[in-house]
Structure 1
């Protein structure tokens, strides 16, 4: 009886058709696949082919997910070179990412045409430095986050242009001499904004010089006006550190009928809390982080 010839050069990839290995790989997290990408040329080809059909997020491992419910590739800051390599390889599949400098922003713009969410982290951006804006680039981008950036108000305006974002997040940014002040709100298209998160450390500021004061008042027509009145679709709002004079908080927030989540750092009176909860029927979660209500 003749023994069957054995070919030791064949691997499991030679026995499975594309439908089979796609069915298997859908249960493997994207970051695990990436770690095995260099095992062999055949395996690399298969992994890259499969990941072309996966929506990928590249995020810092110490941060919350930028977008939810997607296969996620988490990279530590120390492995940022890997981020650049994978952006080059799989840019069209990347729907959310972060960057640390303007050069990487250029790479993202060139390689990630389907980007939906972008986080700019600790980047120095002065007026006129940005070569990209949301009118001419990042055609489907709908979420922008500035984290600890050195950025001027006019640079924010230049970058966002008139794109109607769904989410805007600004945390602990500075314009060089002071914290970012917030005049850019006057020029932004806020009509489609659903989530606004503003945070800064105001311990070093006087009460009348707090940054990001968004209750800009106009007495020309005898009415109090707020930037918040330009956000009719706002559902998620976080204000931490000097963004609104306390006496006007409830009045502004009562004009947000779609608000579902509110987190603020203020000493509110009970009557102000009552006004907010009564005027926002969709409110489902309320965080008063300075709960010394008067």
Structure 2
């Protein structure tokens, strides 16, 4: 084969690039490259070998997040397209150790977890969605620094799969929309640091695994449990067995449906009595979201016992003005969120609530017994409070949210006026399907 001579122009260009790079010390380059985002650095990384070395060394000292949209200068955007996967895998081989957070929709990518195992040993936060492939079995913890883990709509994830990811430093775990997880993995949960557990729509989840392993959950501060229970063994009347062993709970999100149980009103009352008795023992509770019917006495007991309440979302069809007044009297000045939907409350009741709760930023009054002028009256009350702010006990900005617009959830037919008339104090969210999703959950 004929020997090929090196292009002298390329050699001169390489020497020139090297001279430019060597003209500044590493500290100067670090200051300069800090002005560039990870996305911008990656676009320039292949300029030449010397520049590539400089860029990759700098990237190794950044804390990289890989997400579908940009959060800050350390975010690398992973487009939801299979076309980018080959090049992205090559990039991970070079820069994977700097990746600390990854949020990916896996429907267009193959062997995601296997690739991450070999390239990203320093992952602290991992969220995977739409992972349909079974994971290869392993007893090795490939992500020893993992503290936050979410599997969403990952049908093939099993208890054994989850056990591979659990570390002693794990603080938050969420499994959402899964058909195989039973909860057996809870036996391997870390005791000391786990603070948040979300189990939403896990079809095969067995409540008995939660009860059996409750000692592993004693330090939880957040428990979110959504379950359509098709078993004859009811769950709702046994939730107190969990709550009694979790004294540190500050946030509860329960949506439990015992599909084979009766809907007798007396049974419902007794069920609520047991449940709220346990809830009222949670002195640190500040966010309370549960599909349990609440009566006036429950609401008053809750307000008196849980003095840090900031958000209350319950089924309120049985409450009256007396229960609402009790809640507002004890917790009104601090409430951020309140669900009064489907109650028999009228305009005057809602207006009184508005005046008692200066921190409210979210209020659901859909399907209440309201007049056509209810929304305008709510807006007027909020506007009056804002006007009187300087003379009120809530004058300090850190004691109220009156400077913000209140997000008011109503039925679509409940307001036919011009939104321009209320937009200074209210944002409307329409509810016409009987359900408003809770964005505070995973």
TM-score w.r.t. structure 2 length?
0.50
Aligned to 2:308: 258
* C-alpha RMSD of matched pairs (Å): 4.3
Cα distance 1:111–1:152, how it changes in 2: closer, same or farther (>3 A)? closer
- The answer to whether the Cα contact below 8 Å between 1:151 and 1:176 also exists between their aligned partners in 2 is no
Deviations 1:75-112 (A, max 9, x none): 432x3439889x97546335121375796333333334
Paired residue for 1:19? 58
Shift of 1:184: 4.2
Q: CA deviation at 1:158?
A: 1.7
Which of 198, 204, 209 pairs up with 2:254?
Answer: 198
1:38 Cα deviation (Å)? 3.9
SS at match of 2:252: strand
SS of residue paired to 2:236: coil
Deviation at 1:20, TM superposition (A): 4.9
148-157 or 15-24: bigger deviation: 15-24
Equivalent pair of 1:125/1:155 in contact (CA under 8 Å): no
Change (3 A) 1:21 1:34: farther
Q: Is the 8 A contact 2:159 2:181 kept in 1?
A: no
- Would the alpha carbon gap of residues 213 and 226 (structure 1) be closer, same or farther in structure 2, given more than 3 Å must change? same
| Counterpart position of 2:163 | 109
Work out which structure has the larger RCO, using CA pairs closer than 8 Å and 6 or more positions apart in sequence: 1
Q: How does 1:43-192 map to 2 (within 5 A)?
A: 43-51=91-99, 54-56=100-102, 75-77=128-130, 79-81=131-133, 90=143, 92-93=145-146, 95-98=148-151, 104-113=158-167, 114-120=169-175, 121-123=177-179, 130=184, 132-133=186-187, 137=190, 139-149=192-202, 150-161=204-215, 162-174=217-229, 176-177=231-232, 180-187=235-242, 188-192=244-248
Over 3 Å counting, the alpha-carbon distance change for 1:246 and 1:81 in structure 2 is same
Is the alpha carbon distance of 1:58 and 1:34 closer, same or farther for their aligned partners in structure 2, counting shifts above 3 Å?
Answer: closer
TM-score by length of 1: 0.71
Greater helix percent: which structure?
2
Partners of 1:41 and 1:170 in 2: how far apart?
Answer: 36
Distance in 1 (CA, whole Å) between partners of 2:133 and 2:10 is 48
Residue 289, structure 1, aligned to residue 341, structure 2? yes
* CA gap 1:245/1:288 in 2 versus in 1, 3 angstroms: closer
**1:111-131 residue CA offsets vs partner (Å, 9 max, x unmatched):** 3413322223444677xx725
Q: Computing the radius of gyration over CA atoms, which structure comes out larger, 1 or 2?
A: 2
2:334 equivalent to 1:276: no
Superimposed CA distance per residue, residues 47-69 of structure 1 (whole angstroms, 9 cap, x where no aligned partner): 31111xx24567899xxxxxxxx
How many residue pairs get aligned? The number is 270
In 2, Cα distance between the equivalents of 1:31 and 1:94? 22
Unaligned runs of 5+ in 1: 62-69, 218-224
Distance 1:83 1:102 in 2: 8
Contact 1:142 1:167 in 2 (8 A): yes
Q: Is the alpha carbon distance of 1:116 and 1:237 closer, same or farther for their aligned partners in structure 2, counting shifts above 3 Å?
A: same
Question: CA–CA distance in 1 between the matches of 2:327 and 2:214?
Answer: 30
| Structure 2: stretches of 5+ with no match in the other structure | 1-7, 15-45, 66-72, 108-122, 347-442
